[in-house]
Chain A
């Protein structure tokens, strides 16, 4: 008697199994299923473009599917001190464009240490008065402050200097940025060899910026113009890439130089193969 009861209780429910099979099939074939569609997940394809801020470097802007940086999204920048510089350049571009549309140009800057130099920022072209500094005790507080900043929808940009960010947090930040049309910028301070292994986040773009030796100035003394290796590591292709080149959004890298005086970022032309003639001409001249 007892045995039958047990057997009965373990008899598979055919109805349930068929439903599960259906679900699995739906997941594998990526066909929409009513029960799955109810899951609270928005498709990236729904990403809607609002405002584009070009970096001012034609080569880099052309490589992005949006011809610049969308202001309603999260961007991630890895790297060393050069990444810091690249971030500041991005902010100057953002505030420049937003101030024209009578938009507030205040920036929320969240980080743990107190190492921002007002004079340095001012020389880069940012008014330090426009920066609200937030010091968090840990990454959690910084992420919280960033989300609050993004949701206030009255800031030009929200910057967070973080070591690690959980995927859910980055997704939340991106959604907050998208809804409130505020740019979120993540400065990731991971060691350069760890960048490739860093887990993917919901950021629209991922950059890795590292310093490279500058070209010695013509007179041979002092430091040359700062030179960075700018690498677009990841770019979430979106509907916006229609009509653009196939290559848009593909990982690429450039060598750029920063001219502080003219607030100009420009790509350094790559060396190319050429004949030995120039060398020989030099020899003749000597």
Chain B
């Protein structure tokens, strides 16, 4: 008899645990996300030196993600592929749940949507480090911070962080937008640059920013570009199905 009651009590106790325990407040989690960082007077120079040293690069591979959080959802575009300078690209791209391919060789530029290749405007700026150097030289940050060293893939990296306060209408932001939209710039962006502590090469760039979208509120953005396989020989041939489509339209 006692065994039976014991069993029943056990069942009821475990059953009542279905909803789980109380969720206590954990304010430490708020400060945990604020990274320790220190001002580095030589930080800007360190970044520029690294970026200028990237001119010797002829080929590289890239893994990048652009993540936008608006309202309740986070959306992402992913890139993975190789670039052969000055103008050859082979890249896989995922937008939402759909896959795309991009192939370019000079002025011969196509992207593949579902099963069909479509011509596109050739891309001209294929050096991520050039655009960053241009940004630093056109509007040098007032302060550059250094963060604790981090390992990116297998590289021990010095990590630098700076803020870019863009002026209204700068950086090619569409000027044809309605009045309410233009009013939301200027806006801030936070750049985090990862430079290999051993060879000084640029390894990763992270960009975080927000924009106030009229009627919609804040849209926050995180873009991460990881570069690897510097000067590793790659063969970026025209995809067979693109050739077949051109030859047998």
A and B part of one assembly: no
Which residues of chain B have a CB within 8 Å of any CB of chain A?
none
